Structure 1
Amino acid sequence: MGMLDGKVAVITGGGRGQGRSHAIELAKEGADIVIADIGAPIEGLTYGLATEEDIAETVRQVEALDRRIVGVTADVRSTEDMQRVADAAIETFGRIDIVLANAAVHQVLPDTYTIADDDWHRMIDVNLTGVFKTVRAMIPHLVDGGGGSIVITSSTDGLRASPSWGHYGAAKAGIISLAKTLAVELAPEHVRVNVVVPTGVNSPMAEALMDSVPKTLERWGFATDRANLMREVGVIEPVDVSNAIVYLVSDKARYVTGITLPVDAGYTVKH
């Protein structure tokens, strides 16, 4: 018996990294899974995103756990794509109980005050508007099913200063406010809404940006110490975030809503 037996979870950004880990860990607890990922590059980013092969690999790993899963190629920036993901979940499983709005992109730039329009809009469109479009498509099904759980992935950059990627920090702060509002509005519908706030995570996205980070640390070190309070922890693993999410979406957290849960090795405690 798992903590999530009989539940259906929709996960964006499920092709690799944290999203794949969340799919696997929720499946281990008995959930059936729908993953969505873009499966293609986004113009203007310096690193590749999940491919259709990555989506297929997540499907393979979940099926190896004897759980059912559907993989959908979809862009969180598209209202139509997010509706298509919701439709796929209902057509296959008949319900949606859990939504993990996890998909995100990142970008390191010289500073925030010279960010170009295209770079700003891309970050906000994926990391903030994409979360909104994801939950907007799924919430009616959670309500129709009598309730459920939403967990949105923010970042420590949504709580502290984000030199060289202020557009990323602004989006991640915005979704914290969005989640709190949704928690209030959806409480009467028995839909809980929470946020996880990871520090740096060992993922393909983080790995792709590592060459750019040292310049940021050198330039802005006077203002922000990027090290975790638990200094031996450089980055956490995706499963560390997944473990927190499993708790938040389970009945063990049945009265937990509207919170922002750091999984950050103490990073946000520092002054």
Structure 2
Amino acid sequence: MSSEHRILADRVVMITGASSGIGAAAARLFAQEGAAVVLMARRADRLHALAADLAATGARTLAVPGDVASAEDVERVVEAAVERFGRLDCAFNNAGYATAGVPLHETDPEVYERTLDVNVRGVWNCLRHQIPPMLKQGGGAIVNTSSVAGLRATGASAAYVAAKHAVIGLTRAAAAEYGERGIRVNALVVGSTRTEMMEEVLGQAPELEERFAAEAIQKRMAAPVEVAQAAAWLCSDRSSFVTGAAVPVDGGATAA
């Protein structure tokens, strides 16, 4: 594909949760679309393996292990991105954490804390450190991963539902605050997607698979790359008049 047809040509994009699932699919797709990809995830071995695979195709890559729940880790990744590539044009804040839903009163407090730490504090940390270099360079685009659970109760854990609602709130607030300064911020309302995290949830509660597939009008789960394609569009200039949006990538689950 020639550079003029690559929608992310010459962009520098930070992707969290990049070692598997939607994040890994996004890393591959964004690299194909011409971006330099800065990969962040906790699993260092898998992260470096993915970066090596991408580099072998000629992609510009940087892998920096870390936990989005740690502000220091996020700051370190952003600083490394700017040091290596000179700028940060886009970010796909995709790292997430979920468990099989149990009644609220039976939820382990540690599960609640981890769910909020990764899904909400993680996005907060990313926004706080990604926005300054984008302001300095005059603009950028940020995509945060929310969920159908960010719009309504879905049977997921109450902590997860609350966290994904918060992601949409943070997205809208950031879009309103920085829109006039050239930064677009959007969220993906993701439906059930066949990721490794989903497989872990189904391993705990296999009866959920049929229900998850039935929620979508298309009667199936998404492939990770289908979500990544929406994120790539939102990071590109092809979505230049889209900001503050919660974009459904859910097979019609929120339309029914």
SS of 2:143's equivalent in the other structure is strand
Q: d(CA) in 1 for partners of 2:111 and 2:142? A: 28
Give 1:164 shift.
4.6
What is the match of residue 36 of structure 1?
Answer: 40
Residue in 1 that maps onto 2:235: 249
Q: In the alignment, what sits opposite 2:15? A: 11
Larger mean CA deviation between 131-140 and 107-116 belongs to: 107-116
Q: Deviations over 1:26-66 (max 9, x none)?
A: 11111101011012xxxxxxxxxxxx221022202321331
What CA deviation, in whole Å up to 9, does each residue of 1:232-263 have, x standing for no partner?
x2x11111011111111111111110111111
Root-mean-square deviation (CA), in Å?
1.8
2:217 aligns with 229
Quick check: which one's helix share is greater?
2
For 1:3 and 1:225, the matched residues in 2 are separated by 31
Q: 1:167 to 1:200 in 2, by over 3 A?
A: same
Mark the runs of 5 or more structure 2 residues left unpaired by the alignment.
none
Q: Is the 8 A contact 2:202 2:208 kept in 1?
A: no
- Between the two proteins, the alignment pairs up a number of residues equal to 252
Residue 261 of structure 1 is matched in structure 2 by 247
Give the residue type in structure 2 aligned to 1:190: G
Q: Distance in 2 between matches of 1:33 and 1:217?
A: 32
Matched, 1:170 2:159: no
Instruction: Give unpaired runs (5+ residues) of structure 1.
Output: 40-51
Q: In the alignment, which of 117, 126, 137 is matched to residue 125 of structure 1?
A: 117
Q: Judge conservation of contact 1:111–1:164 (CA < 8 Å) in 2.
A: no
Q: CA deviation at 1:204?
A: 0.8
Residue 157 of structure 1, aligned match among 149, 169, 172:
149
Secondary structure of the structure 2 residue equivalent to 1:179: helix
SS of the residue 1:38 aligns to: coil
How many angstroms apart in 2 are the aligned matches of 1:55 and 1:164? 28
Partners in 2 of 1:265 and 1:11 — Cα distance?
Answer: 23
Between the aligned residues of both structures, percent identity stands at 33
Which runs of structure 2 are paired with 1:37-116 in the superposition (5 Å)? Answer: 37-39=41-43, 52-116=44-108
Match of 1:138 in 2: 130
1:189 Cα deviation after fit: 1.1
Cα shift at 1:134:
1.1
CA contact (8 A) 2:89 2:134 kept: yes
Give the conservation status (yes or no) of the 8 Å contact 2:100–2:204: yes
* 2:174 equivalent among 179, 182, 188: 182
